[in-house]
């Protein structure tokens, strides 16, 4: 299990593709270089101004060191103004513990469920009946956020999973997400297409 951030950004109207292009070109490799595992990146299909993504760390100590390295490093310094200019709100963040999630290549629509169960034991019984390993179940990590420069939501206990499942009997929010195709996959596909045309 890893420490995982589920990050939901509200963007200025029409700015999502600008952020995605910058994110894929600069921020994926920039974060990986300091030891951050960048997971799935998604367009919210029900909100054209929302970008959703995940990143993971082995533990809280690694998280703090990696975030310090990235947010004081050259990649963020060079591109932060352009990224921040696309955003209205970047503080809708859940700090979780779980396996992380990256959709398989070629995946279409992905469902994510954010649930706030009233009773942990009752949720465990629900999960045993309805959720399997493929759902990549995550639970709130209640450790103190020791990188306060980036706020996370506190004061609530959440469960997050991916893929369809029987609706739970607690407050939930279901996200319909479209995976962002990594730039290198798009580039490879274009090269392959050119080879076929020739």
pLDDT tier at 181 (50, 70, 90 boundaries)? confident
Q: DSSP label at 174?
A: E
Arithmetic mean of pLDDT over the chain: 93
Number of residues that this document lists for the chain: 198
pLDDT of 183 reads 57
Please tell me the distance from the alpha carbon of residue 39 to that of residue 101, in angstroms, as a whole number: 6
Please tell me the distance from the alpha carbon of residue 125 to that of residue 78, in angstroms, as a whole number: 48
Question: Pick from 100, 42, 91, 34: which is nearest to 68 by CA?
Answer: 34
Structure tokens at 150: 């980036």
Give 31-90 pLDDT, tens digit per residue: 999 999 999 999 999 999 999 999 999 999 999 999 999 999 999 999 999 999 999 999
> Average pLDDT in the 136-140 region?
98
> Average pLDDT in the 103-107 region?
92
Q: What percent of the chain has pLDDT over 70?
A: 92
Please tell me the distance from the alpha carbon of residue 14 to that of residue 49, in angstroms, as a whole number: 7
pLDDT of 1 reads 78
Please tell me the distance from the alpha carbon of residue 167 to that of residue 130, in angstroms, as a whole number: 9
Residue in the block written with tokens 């739970």: 168
- What phi and psi, each to the nearest 5 degrees, are found at residue 149? -55, -30
Give 148-158 pLDDT, tens digit per residue: 999 999 998 99
pLDDT tier at 184 (50, 70, 90 boundaries)? low
- What phi and psi, each to the nearest 5 degrees, are found at residue 89? -145, 125
Please tell me the distance from the alpha carbon of residue 7 to that of residue 93, in angstroms, as a whole number: 5
Distance of CA 10 to the CA centre of its chain: 13
């Amino acid at each position: 299990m890893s420490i995982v951030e589920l990050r939901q950004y509200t963007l200025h109207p029409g700015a999502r593709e600008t952020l995605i292009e910058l994110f894929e070109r600069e921020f994926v490799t920039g974060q990986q270089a300091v030891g951050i595992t960048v997971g799935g990146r998604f367009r919210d299909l029900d909100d054209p101004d929302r970008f959703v993504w995940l990143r993971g760390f082995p533990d809280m100590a690694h998280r703090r060191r990696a975030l310090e390295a990235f947010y004081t490093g050259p990649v963020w310094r060079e591109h932060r103004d352009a990224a921040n200019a696309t955003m209205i709100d970047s503080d809708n963040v859940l700090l979780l513990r779980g396996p992380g999630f990256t959709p398989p290549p070629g995946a279409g629509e992905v469902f994510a469920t954010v649930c706030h169960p009233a009773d942990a034991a009752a949720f465990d019984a629900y999960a045993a009946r309805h959720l399997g390993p493929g759902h990549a179940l995550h639970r709130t990590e209640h450790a103190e956020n020791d990188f306060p420069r980036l706020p996370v939501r506190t004061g609530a206990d959440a469960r997050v999973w991916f893929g369809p499942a029987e609706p739970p009997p607690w407050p939930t929010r279901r996200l319909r997400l479209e995976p962002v195709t990594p730039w290198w996959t798009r580039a490879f596909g274009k090269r392959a297409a050119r080879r076929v045309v020739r």
